[in-house]
Amino acid sequence: MKGLDDILQNLDKVEAWTRQGMTEEQIANKFGISRATFWKYKKSNVNILNALKKGRVDLGDDLKMCLAKKAFGFTYTEKKTITKYVGDDEIKTVEEYERYSPPDVAAIHLLLKNIDTEWRNDDQATLNLKREKLEMEKAKADAEIW
């Protein structure tokens, strides 16, 4: 199985591609195999599955860090190349600007909603009704068992 051997020899690439957000179908295409074949290899080899899982976890961590950075605001350097022509001579200069991206309210809200239980937007009345319904279904199931 040439495709499987290629994948096993390049598990670091599988992990990196997953971390970059590539789908399993895109990874399969990189190896020149079908998505179904890649799925079969993944199911039969725990090393492939682990590389995919690690890449997804790392991607999630990276995205959380980016979201937090956006929530707090950050400073970055922007470079601009300016080309001037003096006669037949081309003169390029690079100008650097320090820019500031202010805190993003949507990023703050999303982080708080997922971290702090007081910030969750769930409708409490609906949640209470669902809890009561679940308790009633449990009680009914328990009564039927006896």
**For the chain, domain boundaries:** 2-70, 73-104, 106-145
CB distance 33 to 10 below 8 Å: no
pLDDT of residue 128: 83
pLDDT at 112: 87
Specify the length of the chain in residues.
146
What's the confidence (pLDDT) of residue 127?
77
For the chain, residues with pLDDT lower than 50 are none
pLDDT at position 83? 94
Q: What angle do CA 48, 58, 79 make, to 5 degrees?
A: 125
Determine the pLDDT at residue 2: 63
Q: How many CA atoms lie within 13 A of 84 on its CB side?
A: 4
pTM exceeds cut of 0.85? no
> What pLDDT shows up at residue 97?
95
Give dist(CA 12, CA 51) in Å, integer.
7
Q: Are strands 74-86 and 89-101 parallel, antiparallel or unpaired?
A: antiparallel
Instruction: Quote the pLDDT of residue 28.
Output: 94
- Residue 124: per-residue pLDDT: 72
Instruction: Tell me the CA distances in angstroms from 131 to 84, 120, 121, 134, one per residue in order.
Output: 70, 17, 17, 5
pLDDT of amino acid 1: 53
